[in-house]
Amino acid sequence: MSHGPNISCMIVDDESVAREVIETHVSKLSNITIVGSFSNAIDALNYLRHHTIDLVFLDINMPEMSGISFAKSINKDIKIIFTTAYRDYAVEGFELQAVDYLLKPISFDRMLKAVNTYFNIYFDTTHKEVYKVENHDFMFVRAERRMIKVDFESIVYVESYRDYLKIHLNNETIVTRETISAIEAKLPNGRFLRIHRSYIIALKDISSFTNEEIVINNKSLSISRSYKKTVLKLLQSF
């Protein structure tokens, strides 16, 4: 296990799903602790009046007070990793000397790279990566007014509807209000594949495929045009 400083961080984002994704990712890392999670910049500023932190995961596009305005108003010793769904903000973000700029949905690997960039810039170390990754084989999703544990191995495919999505498991189906992009960010790389804006599949459960569809667990799922090139290139490489 790598030893390093204990870093305190906060999350500021008006989207609850985005906060949950970052919280899930950070929970897999050692040496970094979330001390506050806020849906708006005003509450976050009030917290900083009485507490000291090291790092902020900061959404740019928020009502009332933007992430840019928030960043300009806090102590310069507090470092910032911007998170946003909009590419256009990158330049202004880097002008504020942000550690990194993450585009949503944020994958775990991409966030890990940003966190290690922070460590390598601001701490003296010979370690290539400071944070030990805790390998979890599960995630928690909100369903039936509680957080339900879902083992990655049991997921066959994920199916999105307008206001909710279904996580099809080996022996049951879980219905959640989470977005498919938020679930995609929680899933481990190399084991799942997005084939359509409405479908994520488990590679292990594919029984056959054509250029147009994939059969998984006796169900045919369409490959959308925007994902086709990436999907077929990957599947044909096996």
**Domain containing 150 — which CATH number?**
2.40.50.1020
When divided into structural domains, the chain yields a total of: 2
Instruction: Give the mean pLDDT of 61-90.
Output: 85
Q: What is the DSSP letter of 96?
A: T
> How far is Cα 18 from Cα 61, in angstroms, rounded to an integer?
12
Range of the domain at 153: 144-235
Mean pLDDT estimate for the chain: 86
Encoded tokens for 11: 């999350």
Whether the CB-CB separation of 18 and 39 falls below 8 Å is answered with no
List phi, psi (to 5°) of 20.
Answer: -65, -40
Is 183 within the bounds of a domain? Answer: yes
My answer on whether 174 and 107 are in the same domain is no
Element (H, E) at 181: helix 180-186
143-189 confidence digits (pLDDT tens): 888 888 899 999 999 999 878 899 999 989 999 988 888 888 888 87
My answer on whether 39 and 116 are in the same domain is yes
Residue 70 belongs to domain with CATH number? 3.40.50.2300
Best mean pLDDT range from 13-22, 80-89, 112-121, 178-187: 13-22
Q: Could you tell me which of 2, 22, 1, 21 has the C-alpha nearest to residue 10? A: 22
My answer on whether 113 and 148 are in the same domain is no
Is 224 within the bounds of a domain? Answer: yes
**Residue 126 pLDDT level (bands cut at 50, 70, 90):** very low
Whether the CB-CB separation of 9 and 33 falls below 8 Å is answered with yes
Dump the DSSP string for 44-85. Answer: HHHHHTT---SEEEEES--SSS-HHHHHHHS-TTSEEEEEES
pLDDT of the residue at 139: 84
> How far is Cα 9 from Cα 18, in angstroms, rounded to an integer?
15
Q: Could you tell me which of 8, 59, 55 has the C-alpha nearest to residue 34? A: 8
pLDDT of the residue at 4: 55
My answer on whether 69 and 163 are in the same domain is no
Q: What is the DSSP letter of 205?
A: G
pLDDT at 102 over 80: yes
Best mean pLDDT range from 8-12, 98-102, 136-140: 8-12
Predicted TM-score of the model (pTM): 0.58
